[in-house]
Amino acid sequence: MLRSTIALSVLIVLNSAFDLNHIEPHIDILLKPLKTSDERIRQHGYPAESHFVETTDGYILNLFRIPYSPRLGNQHDRRPVVFIQHGLFSCSDGFLLNGPENAIAYNFADAGFDVWLGNARGNIYSRNHSTLSPVSPKFWKFSWHEIGTIDMPESIDYVLEQTGESALHYVGHSQGGTVYFVMLSSRPEYNVKIKTGHGLAPAVFMGNVTDSIVSALAPYVGSPGMGTNLLSDQPFVPYNPHVQRLLDTACGGEPAYPKYCKTLFLMWAGDEQSNLNATLLPQLAETHPAGISTNQGIHYIQLKVSNKFRQYDFGSKKNKKEYKQEEPPEYPLEKITANTFLYYGLNDGSANSKDMKRLPGYLPNLRLFYEVPNPTWGHLDFIFAKQVKEEINKPVIQYCKDYEDQY
């Protein structure tokens, strides 16, 4: 969702200019979801659990679980584990909104899996810390590097411990794919804990992102400098209940949704909505954006400018301190030895097909490199398209089942 990152960065610039954040910072940042993922799951008659994982650096992450399927009644059978990780601006709700027939979380449960949904630090579910308050800038000093090197491995360890399994299947959309690459290249000992890993439009190389706003903002935040100093370490358009409720009422149940619902959605999704399940719009508005740190957006824009997949650029002075070199180190993708499956679309402005095509050359154990044949397939279609069950969910689940049958 890079396009949206950028649209929202513009808002942040405006925010800073007018000092709007100043008015009531606490209200937005300390919000609770209107309806939690476990409530959503139970409403559909599935069992749900809520778990908390405290990371070694103090962030308290909220994971959700669909332990088994009531349709199968398989609570006493052995169930392989799948861990599903959301994209930028999203949260665990994203994998539930299509409902029990079409959302990947339920589809996995109905295929006999024990389903776990992650939530990255800073989103609406994981905005808590053992010592830092989310109203403090220190809380927001992280990018997706920390999500990949800390949140993911520690969530996975927790899930493996809870389930008594030694490895699991991983599915990540967009940033959920980015952090898969970060985790397995930076902490290669996690490769053995992944049975199969599925990147749905993972954002890795970004050089070919052709967005006019990216280009417009790149000079300001694409490399370290005043723009970055001004914008780093803050919550990035936090979830706002007033806006959410308004949208919920205004967009709800409308067959041809009002123009501004569309506009709001476009802010997050770009213009790629040809395949989108429009019935979802009110729920999307209710649950997104779920919150990120500005550094996550800045880090992506840095990738666009450098055309490299590498760590956060703090500027040469601080880089020397952090990395012992002036340029940020590149992630060593060749260390990713887990069975990896990649899926990409031709109308995706964020995980652009040209950039995707650079990946196979780096990955020693790529099992699938799948281009969705529908030429209009966009970034959010991997989660919210009308055809998502047939086009994405079914094959992903089948590859996981094939692995289970084989081993």
Active site residues: 174, 379
Only one residue has tokens 């679980």, namely: 65
Q: How far is the CB of 384 from ligand NAG (least distance, A)?
A: 8
Nearer to ligand NAG, 188 or 395 (CB): 395
Nearer to ligand NAG, 190 or 309 (CB): 309
Q: How far is the CB of 407 from ligand NAG (least distance, A)?
A: 32
CB-CB contact of 87 with 94 (8 Å): yes
Nearer to ligand NAG, 206 or 221 (CB): 206
Q: Which of residues 27-56 bind ligand NAG (CB under 6 A)?
A: none
Strands 292-293 and 235-236: antiparallel
User: What's 175-218 look like in SS3?
Assistant: HHHHHHHHHHHHCHHHHHHEEEEEEECCCCCCCCCCCHHHHHHH
Among 10, 58, 75, 101, binds ligand NAG (CB under 6 A): 101
Q: Which of residues 141-200 bind ligand NAG (CB under 6 A)?
A: none
Q: Is the torsion defined by CA of 123, 61, 385, 283 positive or negative?
A: negative
Task: Check binding of 63 to ligand NAG (CB under 6 A).
Answer: no
* Beta-bridge mates of residue 169: 82
CB-CB contact of 399 with 112 (8 Å): no
Among 187, 262, 310, 357, binds ligand NAG (CB under 6 A): 357
Stretch that binds ligand NAG, among 65-73, 264-272, 275-283, 328-336 (CB under 6 A): 275-283
How far is Cα 255 from Cα 277, in angstroms, rounded to an integer? 12
List, in sequence order, every beta strand (DSSP E) within 279-339: 292-293
Among 187, 386, 394, 401, binds ligand NAG (CB under 6 A): 386
Nearer to ligand NAG, 127 or 198 (CB): 127
How far is Cα 349 from Cα 148, in angstroms, rounded to an integer? 23
How far is Cα 313 from Cα 88, in angstroms, rounded to an integer? 19
Site residue total, ligand NAG (CB under 6 A):
18
342, amino acid identity: L
How far is Cα 299 from Cα 228, in angstroms, rounded to an integer? 10
Task: Check binding of 105 to ligand NAG (CB under 6 A).
Answer: no
Among 11, 13, 34, 60, binds ligand NAG (CB under 6 A): 60
Binding pattern for the stretch 219-258 against ligand NAG, x by CB under 6 A and - elsewhere = ----------------------------------------
Secondary structure (DSSP) of 42-53:
HHTT---EEEEE
Among 6, 48, 88, 97, binds ligand NAG (CB under 6 A): 97
How far is Cα 32 from Cα 391, in angstroms, rounded to an integer? 34
Among 93, 110, 272, 355, binds ligand NAG (CB under 6 A): 355
Task: Check binding of 280 to ligand NAG (CB under 6 A).
Answer: yes
Nearer to ligand NAG, 55 or 149 (CB): 55
How far is Cα 80 from Cα 22, in angstroms, rounded to an integer? 48
CB-CB contact of 336 with 181 (8 Å): yes
Point out which residues bind ligand NAG (CB under 6 A): 60, 97-99, 101-102, 128, 207-208, 277, 279-280, 307, 354-355, 357-358, 386
